[in-house]
């Protein structure tokens, strides 16, 4: 058995876990509605983390021995306010962002999140279109909130659910949360038309891979799009090992034996999931192969952390402090110019460079935790 290494330090105080502090530019450039990075990848998608807190302790994301009662979550004053988030989002939209995803931590723990959704739903692209506003949630509070989120203008939700087996699910969320309540949240999201509802299942070999076919059978024909995600080496605290990754090719093979599937064309270039459909008309299913089939070549996503740092990659160790600019009197045009310059210089492609079996090199710079940067 391979040994699991879990680093217990709080990486936010690690000197290598740096923050870039962009200066207010002397000259400004107007946004053109289209930005490309150094590898010609456009900016389309902004993920906004609204809290670093969560009521789950999923073993692959916020393991209890790191995120324990002594863990120092960010104080309220560090968090971007809704007004700051809306302002930043508007500047990103002027640069071509058409899709916003609220995430965290658990986004439904942020008080009055519906108010933020309402503010974001009023934004328009340069050509006057409304944005696609989605939210990723563990589903624990969704049954109660789906209607108010829909009313506020949320377009869709993605719910994370790793198992239908109550024992396995309770072990994976590590707070003894029952499957039934998440299923209720999914049903309510469908009822209020927050759809098509997507369900994300992180597959950890030896932990929940026995649930691939039961999950597929459960959601087959329901209108829910189930997606299997490869367990990733995000952050530095989950003790990731390659041998716990279940490659998507194996997932599809297993699925195909029980419920035959065929590939579908992507909805748009750069889509993270590879789409499949059941041959019997039972709907769509997908795989997200972040480890075995990197999609960095078309990655058009930026991430805004809970405290307003801009990250150019899920696996980054450094972020660009936009909060200071938002709070120190910089004008919209100045902040917009900074965002443009940062994206222009982007060369990140962590997954493409990752060698499959490397695991966690001891000398590699630490990566931010997913609960902080937003999944
Ligand atoms: N709390 C919300 C949730 O669980 O949906 C939103 C934040 S969570 C960080 C976003 C997504 O990241 C979830 O679907 C979760 O399963 C996924 N995730 C977290 N850690 C992961 C890992 N190590 N590998 C793959 N996916 C991971
Ligand atoms: Fe919380 Fe989501 Fe991370 Fe699970 S995956 S610990 S629900 S943030
Ligand atoms: Fe995008 Fe980074 Fe993921 Fe590559 S590794 S797809 S650049 S977020």
Query: What is the crossing angle of helices 113-121 and 82-94, to 10°?
Result: 30
CA–centroid distance, residue 57 to ligand 2 (Å): 6
What local confidence, expressed as pLDDT, does residue 374 receive? 67
CA–centroid distance, residue 375 to ligand 1 (Å): 5
Ligand closest to CA 347: 3
Lowest-pLDDT range, 138-152, 199-213, 261-275, 278-292? 261-275
CATH class of 18-373: alpha beta
Residues at CB less than 6 angstroms from ligand 3: 294-296, 299, 301, 313-315, 348-351
Ligand 1, atom 7, residue with closest C-alpha: 104
DSSP for 146-189 reads HHHHHHHT--EEEEE---SSHHHHHHHHSS---HHHHHHHHHHH
**pLDDT tens-digit map of 64-106:** 999 999 999 999 999 999 999 999 999 999 999 999 999 999 9
**pLDDT tens-digit map of 33-59:** 999 999 999 999 999 999 999 999 999
138 lines ligand 2 (CB under 6 A): yes
Asked if 91 contacts 336 with a C-beta cutoff of 8 angstroms, the reply is: yes
pLDDT confidence band for 4 (50 / 70 / 90):
very low
Ligand 3, atom 4, residue with closest C-alpha: 296
Work out whether the CA dihedral 103, 105, 106, 111 comes out positive or negative. Answer: negative
What local confidence, expressed as pLDDT, does residue 17 receive? 62
Helix intervals (H) in 61-155: 82-94, 113-121, 142-152
Ligand closest to CA 136: 1
Q: Where are the domains of the chain?
A: 18-373
Torsions phi, psi of 262, nearest 5? -135, 150
Identify which of 103, 295, 348, 355 to mutate to test ligand 3's pocket (most ligand atoms within 8 A of the CB): 348
**pLDDT tens-digit map of 179-236:** 999 999 999 999 999 989 999 999 999 999 999 999 999 999 999 999 999 999 877 7
Distance CA 99, CA 106 (A): 19
What local confidence, expressed as pLDDT, does residue 128 receive? 97
């Amino acid at each position: 058995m391979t040994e699991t290494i879990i680093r217990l330090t709080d990486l936010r105080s690690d000197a290598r876990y740096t923050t870039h502090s962009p200066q207010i530019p002397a000259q400004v450039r107007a946004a053109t509605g289209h930005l490309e990075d150094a590898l010609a990848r456009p900016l389309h998608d902004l993920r906004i983390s609204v809290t670093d807190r969560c009521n789950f302790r999923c073993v692959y994301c916020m393991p209890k021995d790191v995120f324990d009662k002594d863990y120092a979550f960010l104080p309220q004053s560090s968090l971007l306010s809704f007004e700051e988030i809306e302002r930043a989002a508007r500047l990103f939209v002027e640069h071509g962002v058409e899709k916003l995803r609220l995430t965290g931590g658990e986004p439904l723990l942020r008080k009055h999140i519906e108010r933020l959704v309402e503010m974001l739903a009023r934004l328009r692209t340069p050509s006057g279109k409304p944005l696609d506003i989605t939210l990723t949630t563990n589903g624990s509070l969704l049954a109660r909130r789906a209607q108010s989120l829909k009313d506020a203008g949320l377009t869709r939700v993605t719910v994370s659910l790793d198992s239908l087996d109550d024992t396995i699910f309770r072990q994976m969320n590590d707070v003894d949360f029952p499957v039934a309540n998440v299923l209720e949240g999914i049903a309510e999201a469908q009822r209020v038309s927050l759809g098509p509802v997507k369900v994300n299942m992180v597959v950890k070999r030896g932990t929940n891979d026995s649930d691939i076919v039961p999950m597929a059978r459960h959601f087959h024909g329901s209108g829910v799009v189930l997606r299997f995600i490869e367990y990733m080496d995000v952050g530095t605290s989950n003790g990731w090992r390659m041998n716990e990754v279940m490659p998507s090719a194996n997932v599809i093979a297993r699925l195909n034996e029980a419920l035959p599937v065929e590939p579908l064309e992507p909805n748009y270039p750069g889509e993270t999931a590879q789409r499949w459909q059941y041959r019997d008309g039972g709907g769509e299913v997908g795989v997200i192969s972040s480890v075995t089939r990197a999609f960095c070549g078309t990655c058009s996503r930026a991430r805004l952390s809970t405290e307003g740092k801009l990250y150019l990659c899920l696996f980054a160790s450094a972020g660009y402090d936009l909060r200071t600019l938002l709070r120190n009197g910089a004008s919209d045009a100045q902040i917009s110019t900074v965002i443009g310059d940062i994206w222009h210089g982007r060369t990140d492609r962590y997954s493409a460079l990752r060698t499959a079996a490397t695991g966690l090199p001891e000398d590699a710079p630490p990566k931010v935790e997913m609960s902080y940067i937003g999944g």
